[in-house]
Chains A and B, each alone.
Chain A
Amino acid sequence: MNILSIDVRDGATDANMAVYKLKGHLDAQTVRDLEARFEQQMKAARVRWVVDLQELEYISSAGLGSFVGVLSELRSQGGDIFFIGLSPKMEKIFKVLGFTRIFKVFATEAEAAKAFKAV
């Protein structure tokens, strides 16, 4: 049984920003937990998300799909998803799928926060 640990905290400089730290395996099973956390944040009207993939070992297509699934709703409320901490392998996956055309990717949380400020 693969495990995904999800830690959601406030942004270091922007309390309106939710920073998701994912660790382990994000697959068709564990994606349900992640989607539940998505819903919590949406209900709390927090729509600026930074997702840290630094410690994510595996992501399945269902896992990737979950981000696409919430994106339009987030954007309609003035939010977005920015990714940070992509390993070379994740970068390749993002590039092959065309995710880099949909999502912005940053090196650090501070850069992502700055990008949100600029919106």
Chain B
Amino acid sequence: MADNEVSALLGEAVTGPRGLSIRIKVAATLSVLVALSLLLLAAFSLWESRQALLQEATRRGLIIGRNLADYSASAVLQKDPLGAAQFTQDALNDDAMLYAVLTDEGGTIMAIRAASGHPPAQIGGTWDALKGKALDLDGLPQGVEVVEATDPQSGEAVLAFTFPVIKATVRVGSAYIALSQSKIQELMDATTLKVAVLALAFLLLALVASFWLANVIVRPVQRLTRGALAVGAGNLETQVEVTSQDELGVLARSFNSMTAGLRKAQSDLVEKQLLKQELNIAQEIQQGLLPKKIPVVPGYELAAFYAPAKEVGGDLYDFLRIDDHRLGIVVADVSGKSVPGSLGMTMARSVLRAQALSQHGVAQTLHRTNEVIQPDIRRGMFVTMFYTVLDSTAHTLTCANAGHNAAYLARGREVLEVAPEGVALGLVPAHQFYVDELVLDLQAGDLLALYTDGVTEAMNGASQEYGDDRFKAVLSRSVDLPLDRALQAILDDVRSFVAGAPPHDDITLVLLRRKA
């Protein structure tokens, strides 16, 4: 087969993948997903930690403030500045405390202490509670407020508490404390660092895992891609390794069976072309063997028909002018088909022609023909041949039959079988060969039909054979028709019987009539 036909079978060549590979896409997607979930997880855990720390600080603030307000109640009521100062001093024992303030019921500062030693206001002045974001805490005692604020003096984040100072159910003043949030911040910073390091470690792990996973998924795809590219480039022997039972494994197996299918399609195409070529050659040889025109014999009419089947079956008919009043008529069929068959037939025809012209008898001609071709003909091949010589002055037919179908002689309404015995040509060596000879006297109006089994074994769609009886019947009906119409009538009868079923063998028919 020509190369362009192979390419036509395969289509346009394709190059490898371009742009981002599937591996990168899968790995990137997985990495982004992992990074996002880690980020969310880290943010949540940091928020949780901060809430816990804030709660702890608030709890401490509430205890310190409560103690300050409770213990200092008498001192505040009695306006005892020394007692008040002592209680504010005690309140600063906690190292997160920034300052503690006590005011009387009018808001005048009675005592103020700062951890820094520089209180933000003076005794006798008024105290403004720090403004900020009020924390709405569960179980906060009546009158207690907690705000997150910024200390105006140091600028740091603080938790500011306001407590009522109550003596015998009467509010006698207020206690204010501020707790630094810097401790919380420090702890938070440490936690954030830990979380960040952990998250980064996980992210790296996830990246490696993503690439590994992407590889696992993509490797068989890459193998398939390489295989498909190789097939596209024309290498139909390509097979890809099947390593799994999953969808990709199924795909790989399908790919392998696809290339096998392509290989078969290609070799089938080659074979079909060769076969077609061979058939063309066989047909050419076959057509070359057939006589170009029907000979004219005084007092006689001749007609011949040949139709090859799709697969040339190797039929032959021939006319041999032996002398001015003798004509040899041959109908033959070779057992092989196509080129070998036509070559076998060519050999048989040439040898017969040479022998026939050497003035041998009819049976002897077949004998000599067998003797010459038998050693050379392909083993198992043979030629069946009905050979008859018409003497147009003596009105006799001398017949010999080498394994061919009987001939039929239609005389009036009667149809006689002409079947001298004999072995097909090429089957056996000369000492085993045998062929009979039979001489017929021809009467005016006698119609002789020579044919091949393509006629009598023509099959219809139901695998029934046309058969000898139908053939004899149509011969009997056509005996008085002009010869070309008789030929047509027989062929029409066969055609209407097979009703369009394709012929499986060549059809050959030769008619001879002695004019009335």
By a beta-carbon cutoff of 8 Å, the part of chain A in contact with chain B is: 27-28, 60-62, 64-70, 72, 95-99, 101-102
Contact = CB atoms under 8 A, between A and B. Distances in A.
Given A62-B336, A64-B335, A68-B382, A102 B427 contact: yes
B70 interface: no
Interface stretch (B53-61, B95-103, B417-425): B417-425
Contact of A101 (B336, B381, B382, B428): B428
Instruction: List 5 A-B pairs, minimum CB-CB distance, nearest first.
Output: A69-B380, A98-B423, A61-B335, A65-B380, A97-B403
Contacts, number: 61
B337 A28 contact: yes
Given A96-B404, A96-B405, A98-B403, A61 B333 contact: yes
Contacts of A28: 311, 337
Contacts of A69: 379-381
Contacts of B334: 61
Nearest to B378: A69
Contacts of B404: 96
Contacts of A64: 335, 382
Most A CB within 10 A of own CB, among B380, B403, B427: B380
B423 A97 contact: yes
Interface of B: 311, 333-337, 379-382, 384, 402-406, 419, 421-424, 427-428, 432, 434, 504
Given A62-B337, A101-B432, A102-B428, A96 B382 contact: no
8 contacts: A27-B504, A60-B335, A96-B384, A97-B403, A97-B427, A98-B424, A98-B427, A101-B428
Nearest to B422: A98
Contacts of B336: 62, 65
A65 B337 CA distance: 11
Contacts of B379: 68-69, 72
Given A65-B335, A68-B382, A102-B432, 20 more contacts: A27-B504, A28-B337, A60-B335, A61-B333, A61-B334, A62-B337, A64-B382, A66-B380, A68-B380, A69-B381, A70-B380, A96-B419, A97-B382, A97-B384, A97-B427, A98-B434, A101-B432, A101-B434, A102-B427, A102-B428
B335 A62 contact: yes
Contacts of A102: 423, 427-428, 432
A70 B379 CA distance: 8
Most B CB within 10 A of own CB, among A67, A96, A102: A96
B61 to A, nearest CB: 99
Contacts of B333: 61
A68 B379 CA distance: 7
A101 B423 contact: yes
A77 B421 CA distance: 31
B428 A96 contact: no
A64 B382 CA distance: 9
A69 B403 CA distance: 17
Most B CB within 10 A of own CB, among A61, A64, A68, A95: A61
A69 to B, nearest CB: 3
A65 B423 contact: no
Contacts of B406: 96
Contacts of B402: 98
Contacts of B311: 28
Nearest to A73: B379
A32 B381 CA distance: 14
Most B CB within 10 A of own CB, among A62, A70, A72, A102: A62
Contact of B382 (A27, A60, A61, A70): A61
Nearest to B423: A98
A97 B422 CA distance: 7
A60 B457 CA distance: 11
A66 B406 CA distance: 23
Contacts of A66: 380
A28 B309 CA distance: 13
Nearest to A97: B403
A93 B434 CA distance: 16
A39 B335 CA distance: 21
A69 B333 CA distance: 17
Nearest to B333: A61
B403 A96 contact: yes
A98 B419 CA distance: 12
A75 to B, nearest CB: 12
